[in-house]
Amino acid sequence: MSIWFSYDEVALDLERPLTPQACPICGSTFLESKINTGLCFVSKCGECFHEFTSQDEVFSKEVYDELYFEETHKNWFANPQTKLFKKICKLIERHKALTKFGDFDLLDVGCGKGALLKYISTYFPKSNLTGIDLGEPPLDLDPRIIIKKSSFDAFQETGSYDVVVSTAVIEHLSNPKDFLLRIKQFLNSDGLIIIVTVDSTTPLYIAAKIMRMIGAGLPFRRLYDPHHLNHFTKDSLPRLVKDQGFKICFSGGVNVPLKSLDIPSSTLIQEFFYKLGVRNLFFLGSLLGHPFLQILAFKKSE
């Protein structure tokens, strides 16, 4: 069987010469491990322990089309993350210089169908809200919210923003460093950035690794699906942010509602037990200070 489609390959394949892949966080090419999930290679940096997948080591490319929103991640987009949205609003509120008059400009990079923007528009009725996403904007949008169909690279707007938010996007990008530098271009000198991504040291990830080692690889393959190219830890994300000249104002996290998870299962009983397991792991994660999502807020340091 070709290594490209072997689901059980562990660590390095010594027969196939591998291109040295540099860690997107620290630049090291020293890898602690490299695992073939069947859909991609997942590398773990031997210096900073960040896990990542290089784009040329993905065997089937992710396409961000309507199917991505309506089928693959149906539950995620159908169940807004209100707990997370509230935390984001509280973070903005703490940033008094911007919210004194409430009429700040905010950009949501990768806003999906605008669920977060809708929440913010209610929380801060005077705010000016713009979102960009690769998908089609929804038709029933509040006229105060502008959503543009665009990639971030092609986004031409020259205006500067008081707040830039990006939830569940940075893990999809092969070059998170460039992403942060591009955000910097759109940010006011005293502006705030809020990034939300999965915490790869949450107990759910650890359980998936243990299950894979005993032969149950599905949760691992799901978490390390190649649509996520970077799996940030609570060390690797702050390190990336500080290295690009930002200072961190807040670090925290939140779990997501179980109903928003797209857990692949063949029967209702299987789905029940998967969800029960995930719920317990989320609870454990909260106790240990590692909920499923990590939230980092930061500003320009100069």
Residues that bind Zn ion in the complex, under the rule CB under 5 A: 23, 25-26, 28, 45, 47-48, 50
Compute the least distance from the CB of residue 242 to Zn ion, in Å. Answer: 14
Measured distance CA(223)–CA(44) in Å, rounded: 15
Name which of 46 and 137 has its Cβ closer to Zn ion. Answer: 46
Q: Which is nearer to Zn ion, 30 or 272 (CB)?
A: 30
CB closer to Zn ion out of 50 and 212:
50
Least distance (Å) between residue 23 CB and Zn ion: 3
Q: Please, which residue, 48 or 146, has the CB nearer to Zn ion? A: 48
Question: How many C-beta neighbours within 10 Å does residue 69 have?
Answer: 19
Between 18 and 78, CB nearer to Zn ion: 18
Minimum CB–partner distance for residue 236 and Zn ion (Å): 7
Minimum Å gap between C-beta 198 and Zn ion is: 18
Burial class (CB in 10 A: 0-12, 13-18, 19+), 178: middle
Closest approach, Cβ 267 to Zn ion, in A, equals 40
Let me know: does 264 contact 225? Beta carbons within 8 Å.
Answer: no
